[in-house]
Amino acid sequence: DSGVTQTPKHLITATGQRVTLRCSPRSGDLSVYWYQQSLDQGLQFLIQYYNGEERAKGNILERFSAQQFPDLHSELNLSSLELGDSALYFCASSSQSNSGNTIYFGEGSWLTVV
Partner 1 sequence: QKEVEQDPGPLSVPEGAIVSLNCTYSNSAFQYFMWYRQYSRKGPELLMYTYSSGNKEDGRFTAQVDKSSKYISLFIRDSQPSDSATYLCAMSAAGQNFVFGPGTRLSVLP
Nearer to partner 1, 75 or 79 (CB): 75
* 47 contacts 56 by C-beta, under 8 angstroms: yes
104 part of the interface to partner 1, by CB under 8 A: yes
Helices (H), the chain: none
Per CB under 8 A, contacts with partner 1 among 62-91 are 88, 90
60 part of the interface to partner 1, by CB under 8 A: no
d(CA 52, CA 33): 12
100 part of the interface to partner 1, by CB under 8 A: yes
111 Cβ contact list (under 8 Å, min separation 6): 11, 13, 19, 21, 78, 85, 86, 87, 88, 89
Q: Are strands 31-37 and 10-13 parallel, antiparallel or unpaired?
A: unpaired
Per CB under 8 A, contacts with partner 1 among 30-59 are 33, 42-43, 45, 48, 56, 58
Nearer to partner 1, 2 or 51 (CB): 2
Chain contacts with partner 1 (rule: CB under 8 A):
2, 4, 33, 42-43, 45, 48, 56, 58, 88, 90, 98-108, 110
